[in-house]
Each structure stands twice: as C-alpha cells, then as structure tokens.
C-alpha cells in the first residue's frame, strides 16, 4: 500500500509539474509597446524612455510600435485583438480609456472588457499658452479679451476630441466665452499655430510646450492641475483664477495588456514597471518631459479607469460634443 501511495504521489507531482504554464519563462522574446500617436509626441517619448529601462530590467528587447489615428482608437483595437501572452501591450491614455467612449457612438474596442490593467505610468499636466505678442499677463486678461471680441479668438488643438480640444471647450463653457476651435493634426502643429498667430491660445501638454515657454516663444498663463507644476512653479493653476473654480484636466499614461493575459505575466510586468518607475534614471527622464511618474497595482489602475470613464462621460455630455 505504501508503495502504491508513493507511486500515486509521484504521478500527481509529475502531472502538476507538467501542467505548469507555458509562460513560466516570461519574457523569452521581444516585448512590443504599442503607442496610439506618432513618433515624437509626449506619449511616444515617455514610452521610449520606459521601453529602454524595461529592456534592461526584463532582459529582453523592447520595440515601440506607433499606430496613430482616431485619438488612440486604432492602436487600442490592435492591442485588444493581439494574443494575450504579455508580449504586446498598450500605452493607454485619457483619450483611449477616458474620453473616447463618450465622444464616439461606436468604438472598435472595449476599454474595460478588452484589456487587462498592468500599471499606471505617469500624469501629464496641460498648460494654457498664448502668443507672447498678445501680451496677456493672466487668465483673466485672456478672458476679458475673449469677451470683448466674441467669435474672434481661436484656440488650436491636436484634433477633434483630443484632451486639448476638451480642455478648450471646458474653458469656454465655464467662462461663457465665444471662441473658435481650430483642430490640427497633432499637438506640435497646434502649438505652432499659436506661435505663428493663426490661433491665440491652446492647452498644450506640458512636455510639448515647455521648451517654447522657456525660450519665450509661448506665454504660459496657467496649468490645468490642482497643484502648480514643479517645472513651471511661477505659473498659477487655473483654479487660482476667479473664473475657473474647480477647473481641472490631467492627461495620463498607463500600461495595459489584452484581456485574458495570465495573472502571473501581469505581475511580472507590474513588478518591472514599478521598479523602473521608482528608479532615479527613469524618474528624471519623465520629469524632464514635464511628466510625473506614477506606478500602481493592476487593481488600482482598474478603479482609476472606471472613475475616468464615468467622469469624462459626464463632462462630454455637458459640453455636448459628439464625433462620428
């Protein structure tokens, strides 16, 4: 009997060992990080900095793959339909996993059911900037100018439905302004429109605007976060102006994998992301771009995204913005 029991135990142990997941050696091939925006933008820059450090931490190569278009929707759909093995992941943003579901009647991806959260990566402020030749010294100056010339001032954005568009619409709605939205194909072009005088203001991402602000090519009037930016400590927040109590918009990046990605793979990725985000080298890279590094657990990220979807649904409905 004892011999029989020992044999049964040995068979059971062999079965358990044989049933070990095939991804136990993860990662043993290159990792692809898919970005929903063109190379050179804020999300792309942060993804490349992250990828460089993850490659060292995970001991594998990391490839950044840009699939721009439709405010990140093209890239989101691509990753949602990728094999859920942890080798194709997505840089989610406030657009892909916050605003888009409220803006578009139909999406080719599901921001909740189509993805497995991995970790938060960074929060990125927007900054209200104007053409220095206009000599606006404060947000109130800009508001007064807009009210004195209804329908004359233009605000540029990185495209219809972009966070910059929504920020401008919130600005106009809260101060009851008649200003004209002019969408461009990308944040860099929108910023150039202000510098050239084709538009009078825009809400640029801080990383994209910072070099021009420091060079005196753009005037920064306010940041859109609750606290002042450490990169522009002299620039007030929007809420410091009497016209904008409670005004806040904060863009962000997070790492997502396709739904069904095994939990142990998610935990390997989360541990690696957390470690490199807390390291001085990557923190400095992010802060140099005006981004605040911020890791999370997968559960915390899921809760955050649920909150973002609910919040932006309410904002978009109030602003009555709809895209096909």
Domain of 235, CATH number, reads: 3.40.190.10
Share of the chain above pLDDT 70, in %: 93
pLDDT at res. 99: 97
Rounded to whole angstroms, how far apart are CA atoms 163 and 43? 13
Q: Give the Å distances, CA to CA, from 116 to 121, 200, 303, 315.
A: 15, 41, 12, 25
Convert the pLDDT of each residue in 15-36 to its tens digit. Answer: 444 444 445 689 999 999 999 9
Per-residue pLDDT band at 215 (split at 50, 70, 90): very high
Q: Taking CA 272 as the corner, what is the angle to CA 266 and CA 276, rounded to the nearest 5 degrees? A: 145
Final residue belonging to a domain, choices 240, 266, 301: 240
pLDDT at res. 14: 43
Per-residue pLDDT band at 186 (split at 50, 70, 90): confident
Q: Is the pLDDT of residue 37 over 60?
A: yes
Contact 235, 222 (CB under 8 A): yes
Q: Is the pLDDT of residue 8 over 80?
A: no
Contact 165, 202 (CB under 8 A): no
Contact 253, 43 (CB under 8 A): yes
Structure-block tokens of residue 97? 């996993």
pLDDT at res. 23: 52
Contact 256, 122 (CB under 8 A): no
Inside any domain, residue 17: no
Say if residue 172 is in the same domain as residue 95. Answer: no
Contacts 24+ apart (CB under 8 A), 20-27: 21/262, 21/264, 23/85, 23/86, 23/262, 23/264, 23/265, 24/264, 26/85, 26/86, 26/264, 26/265, 26/268, 27/58, 27/59, 27/60, 27/86, 27/87, 27/268
* CATH code of the domain covering residue 255: 3.40.190.150
Task: Give the structural domain span for 212.
Answer: 125-240
pLDDT at res. 16: 45
Final residue belonging to a domain, choices 202, 221, 240: 240
Convert the pLDDT of each residue in 39-96 to its tens digit. Answer: 888 899 999 999 999 999 999 999 999 999 888 999 999 999 999 999 999 999 999 9
- Nearest by Cα to 109 from 36, 32, 186: 36
Q: Give the Å distances, CA to CA, from 263 to 18, 177, 226, 258.
A: 19, 49, 35, 12
Inside any domain, residue 9: no
Rounded to whole angstroms, how far apart are CA atoms 85 and 27? 10
- Give mean pLDDT, residues 235-264: 96
- The whole-model pTM stands at 0.86
Q: In DSSP terms, which residues pair with 323 in a beta bridge?
A: 104
Final residue belonging to a domain, choices 240, 264, 282: 240
pLDDT at res. 18: 43
Inside any domain, residue 212: yes
Instruction: Tell me, rounded to whole angstroms, the distance of Cα 83 from its chain centroid.
Output: 23
Say if residue 120 is in the same domain as residue 263. Answer: yes
Say if residue 116 is in the same domain as residue 130. Answer: no
Say if residue 112 is in the same domain as residue 255. Answer: yes
Domain count, the chain: 2
Inside any domain, residue 8: no
């Amino acid at each position: 009997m004892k011999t029989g029991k020992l044999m049964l135990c040995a068979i059971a142990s062999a079965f358990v060992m044989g049933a070990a997941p095939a991804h136990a050696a993860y990662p043993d091939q290159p990792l692809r990080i898919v970005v929903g925006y063109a190379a050179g933008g804020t999300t792309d820059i942060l993804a490349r900095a992250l990828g460089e450090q993850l490659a060292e931490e995970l001991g594998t190569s990391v490839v950044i793959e840009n699939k721009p278009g439709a405010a990140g929707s093209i890239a989101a759909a691509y990753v949602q339909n990728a094999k859920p093995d942890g080798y194709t992941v997505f840089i989610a943003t406030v657009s892909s996993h916050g605003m888009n579901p409220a803006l578009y009647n139909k999406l080719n991806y599901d921001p909740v059911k189509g993805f497995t959260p991995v970790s938060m990566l960074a929060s990125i402020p927007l900054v209200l900037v104007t053409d220095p030749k206009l000599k606006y010294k404060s947000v109130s100056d800009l508001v007064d100018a807009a009210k004195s010339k209804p329908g004359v001032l233009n605000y540029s954005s990185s495209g219809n439905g972009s966070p910059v568009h929504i920020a401008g619409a919130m600005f106009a709605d809260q101060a009851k302004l008649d200003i004209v939205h002019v969408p461009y194909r990308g944040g860099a072009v929108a910023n150039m429109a202000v510098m050239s005088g084709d538009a009078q203001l825009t809400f640029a991402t801080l990383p994209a605007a910072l070099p021009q602000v420091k060079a005196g090519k753009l005037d920064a009037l306010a940041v859109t976060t609750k606290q002042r930016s450490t990169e522009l400590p002299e620039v007030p927040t929007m809420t410091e102006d009497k016209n904008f109590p409670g005004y806040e918009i904060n863009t962000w990046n997070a790492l997502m994998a396709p739904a069904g990605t095994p939990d142990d793979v998610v935990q390997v990725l989360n541990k690696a992301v957390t470690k490199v985000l807390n390291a001085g080298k990557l923190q400095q890279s992010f802060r140099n771009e005006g981004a605040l590094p911020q890791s999370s657990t997968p559960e915390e990220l899921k809760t955050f995204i649920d909150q973002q979807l609910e919040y932006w649904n309410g904002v978009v409905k109030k602003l009555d913005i709809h895209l096909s």
